[in-house]
Structure 1
Amino acid sequence: MGGFRGTRRDDSGRGGDDRRPPRDEEYVPRPGTARAVDEPDTPTDFDSALLPAGVRAELRGLPKELANIVGAHIQAAGELIDVDPELAFKHAEAARRRAGRIPIVREAAAETAYAAGHYDVALREYRAIRRMNGGDEFIPVMADCERALGRPRDALELLASLDPQTKNIGLRIECLLVEAGVRDDLGQRGEAMRLLEEAISHKVGPKLGQARLRYAYAEFLLEEGQQAEARRWFEAAEKLDGESELDVTDRIAAIDGIILPEDFDLDSDEEDAPGVAEEDSATPEEVPSADEDEPAASQDKRSETAPEDHGAQELDK
């Protein structure tokens, strides 16, 4: 996320608005611009040009002063979400209190609430966005919120609402990953691993999605005590993770009993990694699953049977 350029300042330090009160009158903020007691200060060092064009377009319907304040809080939320998610959430809430009818503002509130672990708030905000925009894109994260709130059955019901005709393979992978986690929570690890095995066998979807399927499968193997097999599947995930977005190297090092330094840099290794230069948005037909020597899925007998609940739709071949 970016930010808005501050309003023009005159010698008095007030915003450059011709409708401001005379200097001898007390300045009264316009409705919606006053700072709430529990919110962080509005950042002043922001630049509207740094906001994505879509965000700027959504904020144009607000009065300029209000748009500047909302934009500054959105900018701060975007900058802080990975380093201080709680403060990012407070900035996003400050924006939501002022412009809650704007989808991008609700999305900022939802994402920061999720990052900060406020899953009830995140679920509320994602529901609001879905009512505004429609579509299924937030189903996986909404289901994950239900899971985090201890409502696995509600999560499965939500995942089952995904349009079975959707062509978005990446979205279907995300739903399947959440379902695997829910099944495991319900004591159905065998079914969770079966879902992952079947999805992996189709060898379709974005590279990062394929990497995450293999990563999740490796984690289950690790929890089952199959370290050697888990390591092989982590390696398979690593081959597809061209941007090193997953902590695969750390997981493999942990299995090998190696402690990596905090400033360990993989940049030099990425240049030698085969087949990772393509963009993650390639079509299913263009994306291979991994190298030919990818490990075969575990053939261990599963004691669990498929439950009656309707989960996420499986991937088509």
Structure 2
Amino acid sequence: MAEDRRGQRPSRGGSGAGRSSAGRGGATGGRGGSSSRSDDSRGRGGSSRGDAPRGGARGAGGKGGAPTRGGNKAASGKTGGRGGQDRAFRGRAEPKIRTADQAEYDGPPLPEHVTGAELDRGVRAQLKGLPEKLAARVARHLAAAGVLIDEDPELAYRHTLAARARASRLAVVREATGEAAYAAGHYDVALAELRAAKRMNGATDYLPIMADCHRALGNPEQAIKLAKSPSVANFSTEAKAEMTLVEAGARRDMGQLDAALRTLELAPLTSKSRQPWVVRLRYAYADTLEAAGREADALAWFHRTHAIDSEELTDAAGRADALESRQA
């Protein structure tokens, strides 16, 4: 898992990807799902064939029907012979061992209060191509993931895996799995799932999170490559800010502090908005200034960050205090 890049990592809600079924508040989902066929064949508990022997059909007699040792009582399953005891023992049902795929398919227990109605209408619409009971189960797993993603991202991730095991051909399911994997720190899985969702629905909303996954996996060059994608020009201001944060972080990963500062200086650092993306931009800029040895400038920007950070998303106040103590 990569370091906690506080104030720099893209928000799940900011890039547009956070509108998926695993996002906060239940989500709106990607733009149009793919094929409505579901992948409902994996891990359904396994076949029951071979769980118990058929009772030894050949043991009832030898040539010409003569009884074998142990007598007819044993052959007929009565308790009088040793053979009957063996068959009675072998005939007991043995506990089934769940494979990893089966456990993934089953998923965690679903909270009783989660019905699936919590999902955004757009997400529910994409599930309508599934059989009714299957759609209801997938919806509940996605809704549970949306409820849990902030407080227990690993459990949320397991819920999305259960949804994916049932409906892997739906873009909204792959998107939710990618977001939950990202929140839980499974960056390789997150990247693969968001790539799959992008192939299915053509959406570019996931690019900031995908770029940050590359950073976390030690590939800052790939993160910068995604940040330079032509589609970024069409992003909303908030989504552009998210990509800026990732690109600046990737530059820092490569030791390019000056380039990271230039990247951040092109962003709307002086915006009058108090939205979280502005808070995080200012914090990243202050943090990079300090890393570059420009402590006086960093102190000013930590104060400017704290001034609009009413939700205390960052530790800007503490960082400012620490700098002031060193300068005293």
Question: When the two structures are superposed, what TM-score results if normalisation uses the length of structure 1?
Answer: 0.64
Q: 2:60 maps to what in 1?
A: none
- CA distance in structure 2 between the aligned counterparts of 1:160 and 1:109, rounded to whole angstroms: 25
Q: Which consecutive unaligned segments of at least 5 residues does structure 2 have?
A: 1-23, 27-39, 46-101
Residue 93 of structure 1 aligns to a residue in which SS? Answer: helix
Question: What are the equivalent positions in structure 2 for 1:163-178 lying under 5 Å apart?
Answer: 163=231, 165-166=233-234, 168-178=236-246
Question: Across the two proteins, how many residue pairs are aligned to each other?
Answer: 231
Question: What are the equivalent positions in structure 2 for 1:20-35 lying under 5 Å apart?
Answer: 34=44
1:246 Cα deviation (Å)? 3.8
Q: 1:37 maps to what in 2?
A: 103
Aligned pair 1:53/2:106, yes or no?
Answer: no
The letter for the 2-side match of 1:152 is P
Aligned pair 1:223/2:291, yes or no?
Answer: yes
Q: 1:97 aligns with which of 140, 165, 177?
A: 165
The letter for the 2-side match of 1:190 is D
Q: Which consecutive unaligned segments of at least 5 residues does structure 1 have?
A: 4-29, 258-317
Question: When the two structures are superposed, what TM-score results if normalisation uses the length of structure 2?
Answer: 0.62
Q: 2:184 aligns with which of 113, 116, 136?
A: 116
Change (3 A) 1:32 1:164: closer
Q: 1:193 maps to what in 2?
A: 261
Aligned pair 1:211/2:211, yes or no?
Answer: no
The letter for the 2-side match of 1:64 is E
Bigger relative contact order, structure 1 or 2 (CA pairs below 8 A, ≥6 apart): 2
Structure whose CA Rg is larger: 2
- CA distance in structure 1 between the aligned counterparts of 2:43 and 2:128, rounded to whole angstroms: 16
After TM superposition, the structure 1 stretch with the greater mean CA deviation from structure 2, 104-113 or 56-65, is: 56-65
- CA distance in structure 1 between the aligned counterparts of 2:147 and 2:237, rounded to whole angstroms: 30
Q: 1:232 maps to what in 2?
A: 300
Question: What are the equivalent positions in structure 2 for 1:135-174 lying under 5 Å apart?
Answer: 135-163=203-231, 165-166=233-234, 168-174=236-242
Provide, for residues 113-149 of structure 1, a one-character-per-residue CA deviation record: whole Å limited to 9, x for no partner: 0011111110011111111222322111111111111
Is the CA contact (8 Å cut-off) linking 2:116 and 2:142 kept in structure 1? no
Residue 50 of structure 1 aligns to a residue in which SS? Answer: coil
Change (3 A) 1:204 1:232: closer
Is the CA contact (8 Å cut-off) linking 1:44 and 1:72 kept in structure 2? no
Residue 145 of structure 1 aligns to a residue in which SS? Answer: helix
Is the CA contact (8 Å cut-off) linking 2:306 and 2:316 kept in structure 1? yes
Q: CA RMSD in A?
A: 2.9
- CA distance in structure 1 between the aligned counterparts of 2:252 and 2:25, rounded to whole angstroms: 38
Is the CA contact (8 Å cut-off) linking 1:123 and 1:142 kept in structure 2? yes
After TM superposition, the structure 1 stretch with the greater mean CA deviation from structure 2, 113-122 or 170-179, is: 170-179
Is the CA contact (8 Å cut-off) linking 1:218 and 1:233 kept in structure 2? yes
Q: 1:129 maps to what in 2?
A: 197
Is the CA contact (8 Å cut-off) linking 1:33 and 1:69 kept in structure 2? no
Change (3 A) 1:43 1:207: closer
1:255 Cα deviation (Å)? 5.1
* Identity across the alignment (%): 45
- CA distance in structure 2 between the aligned counterparts of 1:144 and 1:59, rounded to whole angstroms: 29
Higher helix proportion: 2
Is the CA contact (8 Å cut-off) linking 1:96 and 1:105 kept in structure 2? yes
